[in-house]
């Protein structure tokens, strides 16, 4: 990698954004990045065009576009990879390191937004606010003799047990909110015995761990069998943590009371994903991270990562 203190002339930097639409669909300008070099932005890049679009770039910015070892080997000018996300599994970091190319991510930018959204999912399962609003608009309330009605059990969270799998920045924030609501909070990291212990007593299980080879398909038939039949499962982490057919089967059989997922194994979701037809399953389109405030922090941090690299002091490097 470039020695500490080395300086790259800003004017020489060609910066390519491969998939910038989700970060800036029109409300979050690239101005802070554009100041740092010659910027070319693509909203979306098909896999077969990644090399063509990146061939002359000094810096490549990616969210979900894959930078494999083969792709990296075909980019002779590449000096720095900026991932506009916290997870960086889209980049072959070892291949980049072998070329002396630092890879930087943006940690913790979405902590508050994801924690807040996690509780939006939990509260929706507890109260089904959207459903009740829909049926009121359809006229069901106006036909009632009593002053109120409810179609689903109304669940009070105070006194319930919240099990958090993965206790990083987001997990900590979720724990704080849970405690503020009067919940008993249990946490587990990578210790699978601890995970099994806490999910068995939990009323709500929420996933906040990265997807790794060790925990892929963590939530499977055996995991779900340990949960209470009255419990909820929340996944605002990574879709690959869950065996979706096993979760659908558990929901349809009433082995757990409900699930809410913001992520699935293949995104956009496939029409044949079994969760689409599962009972008591809320699915949102990977938006927990997407508040404007979080995206603005992500944009600013990306600019800071690039600025630090140009100054010869790269930060947030994941392949040192």
Asked whether the bond before 268 is cis by omega within 30 degrees of 0, the reply is yes
Of the residues 128, 173, 208, 286, which is catalytic? 286
Is 127 tagged catalytic? no
Is 307 tagged catalytic? no
CA–CA dist 300, 139 (Å, integer):
47
* Cα torsion angle, 79, 46, 85, 95, sign: negative
Tokens of 207: 């996933």
The candidate with the shortest Cα–Cα distance to 92, out of 82, 100, 84, 103, is: 103
Q: CB-side exposure of 174: number of CA atoms within 13 Å? A: 34
Distances in Å between the alpha carbon of 250 and those of 21, 216, 229, 278?
A: 36, 18, 9, 9
Decide if 64 contacts 289 (C-beta within 8 A).
no
Distances in Å between the alpha carbon of 169 and those of 127, 151, 243?
A: 27, 36, 25
CA–CA dist 27, 29 (Å, integer):
6
Of the residues 238, 244, 295, 297, which is catalytic? 238
Q: What is the DSSP letter of 236?
A: -
**Neighbour count for residue 307 (Cβ, 10 Å):** 17
Is 99 tagged catalytic? no
Q: What contacts 251, CB < 8 A, 6 or more positions away?
A: 258, 259, 278, 279, 280, 281
Label residue 20 exposed, middle or buried (CB < 10 Å: 0-12, 13-18, 19+).
buried
The candidate with the shortest Cα–Cα distance to 288, out of 29, 47, 107, 111, is: 111
Look at residue 241 and give its three-state secondary structure: helix
Of the residues 138, 156, 176, 267, which is catalytic? 267
Catalytic residue numbers, as ranges: 238, 267, 286
């Amino acid at each position: 990698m470039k020695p500490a203190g080395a300086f790259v002339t800003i004017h020489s930097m060609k910066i390519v954004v491969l998939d910038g639409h989700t970060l800036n669909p029109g409300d979050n300008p690239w101005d802070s990045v554009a100041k740092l070099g010659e910027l070319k932005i693509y909203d979306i890049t098909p896999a077969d065009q990644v090399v063509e679009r990146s061939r002359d770039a000094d810096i490549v910015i990616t969210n979900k576009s894959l930078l494999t070892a083969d792709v990296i080997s075909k980019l002779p000018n590449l000096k720095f990879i900026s991932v506009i996300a916290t997870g960086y599994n889209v980049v072959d970091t070892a291949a980049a390191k072998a070329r002396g190319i630092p890879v930087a991510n943006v940690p913790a930018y979405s902590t508050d937004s994801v924690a807040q959204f996690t509780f939006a999912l939990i509260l929706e399962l507890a109260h089904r606010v959207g459903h009740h609003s829909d049926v009121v608009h359809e006229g069901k309330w106006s036909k009632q003799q009593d002053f109120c009605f409810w179609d689903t059990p109304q669940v009070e969270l105070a006194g319930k047990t919240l099990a958090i799998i993965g206790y990083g920045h987001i997990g900590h924030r979720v724990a704080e909110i849970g405690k503020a609501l009067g919940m008993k909070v249990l946490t587990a990291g990578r210790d699978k015995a601890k995970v099994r212990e806490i999910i068995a007593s939990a009323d709500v299980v929420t996933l906040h761990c990265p997807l790794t080879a060790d925990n892929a398909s963590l939530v499977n038939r055996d995991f779900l069998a340990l949960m209470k039949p009255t419990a909820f499962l929340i996944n605002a982490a990574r879709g690959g943590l869950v065996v979706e057919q096993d979760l659908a089967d558990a929901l349809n059989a009433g082995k757990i009371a409900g699930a809410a997922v913001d992520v699935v194994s293949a995104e956009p979701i496939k029409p044949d994903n079994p969760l689409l037809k599962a009972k008591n399953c809320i699915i949102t389109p990977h938006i927990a991270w997407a508040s404007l405030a979080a995206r603005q922090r992500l944009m600013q941090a990306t600019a800071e990562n690039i600025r630090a690299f140009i100054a010869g002091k790269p930060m947030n490097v994941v392949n040192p």
